Amino acid sequence: MDVGVVVLVGLVAANVVVWLLARPRAVSTVRYVGELCGAEAILCFSCALVLATVLGPIERAFGGLDRVALWHRRTAVLGVLLLVPHLVLVWLAPADPDATALGSLFGIIALIGIVGLALWAMAPSLVARRWPGPVRRMASASYEQWLSSHRLMGIFAAMAVVHAGIVDPAIRLSRVLLVAFVAIGVLGVVAYLYREFVFPRITPIHEYRVARTTALDERTLGISLDPVGDPLAFRPGQFIFIAFSGVGAWQRHPFSVSSAPSSPTLEIAVRAAGDYTIDLGRELRVGAMAKVAGPYGGFDHVLGGHHQLWIAAGIGITPFLSWIRSLDSEFDQEVEFFYAVNDESAALFADEIGTAATAHPSFHPRLWVAARDGTLDPATVLSALPPHADPWVYMCGPPGMMRSFAKGFRAAGVPADRIRWEQFDIR
């Protein structure tokens, strides 16, 4: 388990212990449990705001920014769920004679804001599961809308802190709980202020110019960018945020880098999967300017063991392509690489991958065509390993497929900390 996860779970558990040990006798059990749920909810929101700061130590503690984003989502969802018992139990408890209308007003505004933004954030994925196709595209929020809504979450979380500080009788009666609560609230507010006002001003931005665009297939656009100033330094497998001029009014979107760090150009492959990426394919022109921030992510096979399984599906080939283009004479890992596509026409860069296999005998790619070979599964992938191999697994592809494969590998005995997958759906 990653260090960041251990710390996060430890904080949530420690806060429960503090509340159990420091309970004031004057507060009824029902009210106290309700306020405990509220305090845990605020802790979750504060932790989610800290995770959103994109600080390097946090990214390293969780093993990559994708995993940070995953736990950001989980803690935020847990915070929203804890609001339910908080509201129910506080409503059932005897009324607090010291409660004020101002404190209740802050609570109502915070509740409406937090729940509303949570539903806004979850709506696209819920709609996608129930109504695919055109309805999904109409209901899905753009990345920029999703980002804007998340920026408001910190304001409502701060209002929830003020609400609890005014109306919670346990906090008023216990200095220990007051100190712990203030520390948690200040942590979240400071993290929010840093993310909104400091981070944008200290993050290095690299300027690039579009040198070439290539239609890789009907839905995928290859983009090559030349640096205008100092080029971006990155590790193979990382991703970046790019804002293009003339398309989406400089909207910032994440893309995996497909080029090697030694390449003079920065390359990405963009799959037309939403309004922005569709417009990008139609409107992006050679010579357009681009602002690049990053790099981010800890998807790095160099950190793994000798025997490795690489699994790419669809546009999930991009981080692996960066790895493949970076292979050199020091590469000595034994890699079984499965590249899954629906049909052979969707196999981007197949010739280049084959050339890399010729140059590096320990790299064994397999093109898995669903129309010809059937559905790829974890058992088939594991069967490619030599007996008694202790593999590290790296995957990138459709989220549902990756979750299913991760579950299958764990069931087959592969340790969870040796299963890494690029979770681009949560960016």
* Domain that includes residue 92, residue range: 3-202
CA distances for 214 relative to 81, 221, 271, angstroms: 46, 6, 12
Indicate the residue among 296, 321, 342 that finishes a domain.
Answer: 296
Strand, helix or coil for residue 8? helix
Residues 169, 181 within the same domain: yes
The beta strand positions in 239-382, using DSSP E, are 239-244, 252-256, 266-271, 289-296, 307-313, 334-341, 363-369
Q: Classify residue 236 by its DSSP letter.
A: T
The pLDDT of residue 41 is 92
Q: Can you tell me the distance from the alpha carbon of 216 to that of 290, in angstroms, rounded to the nearest whole number?
A: 21
The pLDDT of residue 248 is 67
Average pLDDT, the chain: 86
Residues 196, 214 within the same domain: no
Q: Which residues contact 243 (CB under 8 A, 6 or more apart)?
A: 250, 251, 252, 253, 290, 291
Q: Which of 187, 294, 304, 319 is nearest to 243 (CA)?
A: 294
Q: Which of 336, 388, 328, 333 is nearest to 364 (CA)?
A: 336
The radius of gyration computed from the CA coordinates of the chain, to the nearest angstrom, equals 24
Residues 197, 164 within the same domain: yes
Residues 40, 182 within the same domain: yes
Q: How many domains is the chain built from? A: 3
The pLDDT of residue 278 is 85
Q: What is the CATH number of the domain that holds 116?
A: 1.20.120
The pLDDT of residue 148 is 59
The pLDDT of residue 137 is 45
- How many other C-beta atoms lie within 10 A of the C-beta of residue 223? 26
Indicate the residue among 169, 202, 235 that finishes a domain.
Answer: 202
Long-range CB contacts (within 8 A, 24+) of 181-185: 181/39, 181/42, 184/15, 184/39, 184/42, 184/43, 184/46, 185/42, 185/46, 185/158, 185/161
pLDDT, tens digit, 9 for 90 and up, residues 319-338: 999 999 999 988 989 999 99
The pLDDT of residue 244 is 92
Assessment of whether the complete model's pTM goes beyond 0.85: no
pLDDT, tens digit, 9 for 90 and up, residues 388-401: 889 999 999 988 89
Indicate the residue among 267, 296, 325 that finishes a domain.
Answer: 296
**Residues of the chain whose pLDDT is less than 50?**
128-129, 131, 134-141, 426-427
